Every structure is written in structure tokens, then in C-alpha cells.
Amino acid sequence: MSETTELAFKARELDAGDELAGLRSRFVLDDGVYLDGNSLGALPAHVPDRVQDVVRRQWGELRIRSWEESGWWTAPERIGDRIAPLVGAAAGQIVVGDSTSVNVLKALVGAVRLAGAGRDEIVVDATTFPTDGYIAESAARLTGCALRPLAPAEVPGAVGGRTAAVLLNHVDYRTGRLHDLPGLTAAVHAAGAVAVWDLCHSAGALPVGLDEHGVDLAVGCTYKYLNGGPGSPAYLYVRRELQDRFDSPLPGWNSHAEPFGMRPDYAPAQGALRGRVGTPDILSMLALEAALEVWDGVSVEAVRAKSLALTDFFLECVARYVPAGTVQSLTPVAHEERGSQVALRCPDAGAVMERLIAQGIVGDFRRPDVLRFGFTPLYVGFADVERAAEVLARTLRAGGGDA
């Protein structure tokens, strides 16, 4: 058997044994191989009709009554409770709204205020997705803190009595490296500081365990592995024991104890509601709520097991098909250090990705030289993986980016 047939055969066997394989039919997809769900998740098939109902009936017919009758006003906390089990949180600790960037600001400034007097340093993941770094820099200026960028591995040895808050990414958006959330959270706590985690690349792909590991604050987006749609609102987690002291830097009227009291003075609501700001973006939010129904009956543990099997199999196919030395994986081999994507460095990566996309293999390119392939276990199968590696190998043999 040639290598190609052998791995294609193995892919068929893996697909046949995949208990999540049937979930693919819950999504709108085509014959291509979609490996960009870590950037924009695919559309769940029932969402268009639901959005249509929100627009035509709830808005078009009920109009203002929908704030009550269609549950618009309570959507941020209701949808937060739907996300909660996916990130290991009990109900009442997550609100949905605003972008991840805005929630990073709420979380970081809130964290410094929680840390209390005498602590004047914010530590930020030096390899972070840029927006987190930009916002952290501004949060530091707003709170009179110094900003200290560090690689996550350096954090335990560097945090101390000055550290107010530490912002870390659970999974690195470039390399796909999974950081040790329990260990790093414990190290931050040992220094008396507040741990803030960005879950953009982990929620919906692997278990997070926010409550179990004592995470203080967390943020994440919903348009990647949670399939909420372009620009769907992000979320903010505030651990229950901290909610009474959580002091948001954006205390809009939606977080007021009595929003319709229209009082001149601010008094915060109880609970996770304190993370709300202004009028929620109902259309995106209710599209997200509908999208989250694809998780009904799906266990995050099963998703994680399949995710690791998919990335293992991709690495195996790449090692067998791609000419030695043409690509270099940046993604850790150890399962406990791997998220749900594989990042391959290769010369001329931008042009290579263009050629892959032209052949129906959709990943993305990150400057300067990284090919990113995201594996969403809800709708990616093993035959997809084998095909993607085979087309990649053929593309590289034909001269990579050269047309």
C-alpha cells in the first residue's frame, strides 16, 4: 500500500469510530476542508431561521415589548449561563457583551482594583494576541501601574508583592501552545495577585475548569470555536467570591442596581451583571444564543479527545507526506501543551496559503511565516485532515508559493 492510501485508509477508520462525526450535519459547510474555525467558526444550520425570527417577529412585530417578552434584557446573563458549562463555570458568573478587547479592559482594571493598595504592576503575556497587549498597556496607565511583558513560563519566578494582576492566554494564537492554567493561576495566587485569563483559543475546544482552578477573571470571544458568527459578542467571567468587590471601569447603566431608576448616582448591581455596560447588541447576541444549541448533548471532554486525535493525525500526515525540511511545526508535540490548532512555519507562507485556499483547503496565514490550521472537532473529520496534508505536500512539492 502506498503511504497515501495507507493514511487515507486510516482516516476512514478513524472517521468510522468518531462519536462526534454526526455533528457536522448541524453546520453549513461545502466540499472544501475548513480549518479556520479558530478564526471564524462555521454557521450552524438552524441559525438563519432563528435570526429571521428575531428580526421579523421580535423586532418587526413585538418591537419594544421584546425587551421583556422576548427576553432581550436578560440575554447577556442568560447566554453567559449557557457558555458557563463549556468553560467549567457554575451559573451566575458570566455575562456576554462587547468585544474581547473591551472585556480585557474591564477585567484588567477590575483586577488591579481588586488587588488593592501597594500593588502597582500588571504582568502581561509577552507573546499575546496584540489587542490584549495594547489594552493592558492602557489599563496600566489608567491604574498607575507599570506594565511588565513576560513569557508565560517566566511568570511563576517573576510575580511578587508588587504584582496586582497577570493577564495570560490559555492557548497561544500563533503557535497553538496550551499554557498550564492550573499551575500558573496557583503561582499568581501564591504572589497574592489576581489571575486574568483570555480563553479565545480554548473555549469550545478543550476543558478550561475556571471554577475548579480558582481563576479570578476571564474573557473570551464567541466567534471562534463557539461559532457565534462574525463579531458575535464576547464574555466576561467574574468568580463568585469576587463579585461584591468587582469594580468595573465601564459602569454603564446596564450594570446599575436599578437601571430604570435613572438615578444620577451609580450603584452597582449584584453578581456578574456588574460586567454589563450599555444596551446589548441583541441581533448578534441572539444569533450566538442559537449557535450555542449545537453544544446540546456534547461533552467538552469528547471534543478535547477528538481535537487531540485530529492534530496528532495531521502531524502524522504532514510528517509522512511533506518533503523533509520544508515545514517546521511550532505546535508542541505533548498533548498537555497543545491547543486545537497546528502552526507550521514555512518560507513564503502567505503565498502557500493562497494556493491552499484556491484548492479548497482553508487555513490562514500569520506574519511573517506561519501557516495556521485550526481543527474544530464539531465539524472537521479525519479524511479532511488527510486531504489537507496531501494538498499541502503537493503544493510545496510544486514550488510552494511560486505560481
Ligand X SMILES: *Cc1c(COP(=O)(O)O)cnc(C)c1O
Residue 168 binding ligand X, by CB under 6 A: no
First to last CA, the chain: 32
* Contacting range for ligand X; rule: CB under 6 A; set: 16-24, 194-202, 274-282, 325-333: 194-202
Q: Which of these is catalytic: 223, 235, 246, 321?
A: 223
Amino acid sitting at position 54: V
Residues 215-274 close enough to bind ligand X by CB under 6 A: 221, 234
> What does the alpha-carbon distance between residue 113 and residue 160 come to, in Å, rounded to a whole number?
17
Residue 165: strand, helix, or coil? strand
Of 93 and 100, nearer to ligand X (C-beta) is 100
The number of beta carbons lying within 10 Å of the beta carbon of residue 300 is 21
DSSP 181-222: HHHHHHHHHHTTPEEEEE-TTTTTTS---TTTTT--EEEE-S
Residue 129: strand, helix, or coil? coil
132 assigned to a ligand binding site: yes
Residue 127 binding ligand X, by CB under 6 A: no
The number of beta carbons lying within 10 Å of the beta carbon of residue 296 is 8
Residue 157, C-beta contacts closer than 8 angstroms, at least 6 positions apart: none
129 is catalytic: yes
User: Which of 77, 121, 180, 198 touches ligand X by CB under 6 A?
Assistant: 198
Of 114 and 218, nearer to ligand X (C-beta) is 218
101 assigned to a ligand binding site: yes
Q: Cis omega before residue 368 (within 30°)?
A: yes
253 assigned to a ligand binding site: yes
Nearest CA-CA partner of 155 in 178, 129, 131, 122: 122
130 assigned to a ligand binding site: yes
Residue 200 binding ligand X, by CB under 6 A: yes
* Contacting range for ligand X; rule: CB under 6 A; set: 72-80, 193-201, 249-257, 321-329: 193-201
223 is catalytic: yes
> What does the alpha-carbon distance between residue 280 and residue 40 come to, in Å, rounded to a whole number?
21
Beta strands in 65-158 (DSSP E): 94-96, 121-125, 146-150
73 assigned to a ligand binding site: no
User: Which of 99, 138, 326, 329 touches ligand X by CB under 6 A?
Assistant: 99
* Contacting range for ligand X; rule: CB under 6 A; set: 29-37, 83-91, 195-203, 275-283: 195-203
Residue 131 binding ligand X, by CB under 6 A: yes
Residue 100 binding ligand X, by CB under 6 A: yes
Residue 169 binding ligand X, by CB under 6 A: yes
15 is catalytic: no
Bin 327: left if φ > 0, else alpha if -120 < ψ < 50, else beta.
beta
129 assigned to a ligand binding site: yes
How many CA within 13 A on the CB side of residue 362?
16
User: Which of 34, 173, 235, 314 touches ligand X by CB under 6 A?
Assistant: 173
Residue 329 binding ligand X, by CB under 6 A: no
27 assigned to a ligand binding site: no
Residue 373, C-beta contacts closer than 8 angstroms, at least 6 positions apart: 35, 314, 341, 342, 343, 344, 363, 388
Nearest CA-CA partner of 246 in 103, 137, 76: 103
Whole-number minimum distance, CB 371 to ligand X, in Å? 17
134 is catalytic: no
Q: If binding means CB under 6 A, how many residues of this protein chain bind ligand X?
A: 13
Q: Please give the residue ranges that form the binding site for ligand X (CB under 6 A).
A: 99-101, 129, 131-132, 169, 173, 198, 200-201, 221, 234
Which residues belong to the annotated binding site?
100-101, 129-132, 198, 201, 223, 253, 279
Catalytically active residues, by annotation: 129, 198, 223-224, 372
Which residues belong to the annotated binding site for pyridoxal 5'-phosphate?
100-101, 129-132, 198, 201, 223, 253, 279
